Amino acid sequence: MKPAPFDYYRPATVEDALAALGTSETAKVLAGGQSLIPAMNFRLSQPDLLVDIGGVEGFDRMEVGPSGVMIGASVTQSRVMASDEVANAVPGLRRALHHVAHLQIRNRGTICGSIAHADPAAELPALAIACGATLFLQGPAGERTVDAGDFFLGPFWTDLGEGEIITGVHFPSEPADTVTFLDELAWRSGDFAITGLAGALATRGGSVSGARMVSFGVSGAPGRMTGAEQAVLGFSAGDDGSAVYGAAYEDGADAVDDVHATAEYRREALGALAVRSVRAALSTNGNGTGV
């Protein structure tokens, strides 16, 4: 369990990082290394060059402004979790990070790294979609932004182009009438989700007025639950939840079987998670009275 030989480079500027990435077709960006290094030790990933962005100027910025939170590419999950300012602006972020692995992993793992890695069972890609986050990319052709909802294409597959890196991610401030949440089932605390659900729910007059719901760990990529998003409109605390359950179950139609759970289980669990998290979100938001 030792990696194949590779070169290592730690640039100080984003320009140098991009130039280095341009020198090799197999080069990889190293951020926290919590997924990449194990993959290299298994020789599943054999880059000939690692570009460590931990020292890139400006990548460590974490800024809270009126529009939301800007998180640079080298900001660790623990740092985000520890910030009360961030938690006030985007409460869902801290809540979601409790589900991300363990303390030691969050101490090294980065927000942007998890998004770039795009593990289908990871929490942060789904949360980014649910929050309507924007990704800032930079590559040989210059800078661009992508909505998180358009970024994830499949298992470990994103819109990230050749030689392109994520320089930061912007999470918009949570509107007053909205609750962002994340719930998941994992057999052990800290594991990747067997079935997970991230969402943002707007409420008015005690019932749901708008919803963005994203499943993860269910199929090959985090995905919007279009059926459940419709079914949940008008949902209030007294509803029995069967319509939401049924819609979420159908949203899980492309669920996968693996050693941990059957596809059928994942669909049922997605239904149950949808009902319980919508109920919980309603009660969080002014005990269902909304705004």
**Could you list the residues that contact other proteins (CB under 8 A)?**
1-5, 38, 42-43, 185, 187-192, 194, 242, 245, 259-262, 264-265, 268-269, 271-273, 275-276
Query: Least CB distance from residue 274 to other proteins, whole Å?
Result: 11
Interacting residues of 161 by C-beta distance below 8 A, sequence separation 6+: 137, 139, 141
Burial grade of 139 (CB within 10 A; 0-12, 13-18, 19 or more): middle
CB of 126 vs other proteins, minimal distance in Å: 18
The CB-of-165 to other proteins minimum distance in angstroms stands at 26
Closer to other proteins at the Cβ: 147 or 264?
Answer: 264
CB 75 within 8 A of CB 111: yes
Between 43 and 204, whose beta carbon lies closer to other proteins? 43
Query: CA 125 to CA 143: how far, in whole Å?
Result: 21
Q: Retrieve residue 213's tokens.
A: 């719901």
What is the rounded (10 degree) CA torsion for 86, 91, 94, 98? 180
Nearest alpha carbon to residue 216 among 228, 198, 229? 198
Residue 84 or 189 with smaller CB distance to other proteins: 189
Q: Least separation, in Å, of the C-beta of 178 and other proteins?
A: 26
Nearer to other proteins, 176 or 189 (CB): 189
- Of 213 and 269, CB closest to other proteins: 269
Shortest distance (Å) from residue 242 CB to other proteins: 7
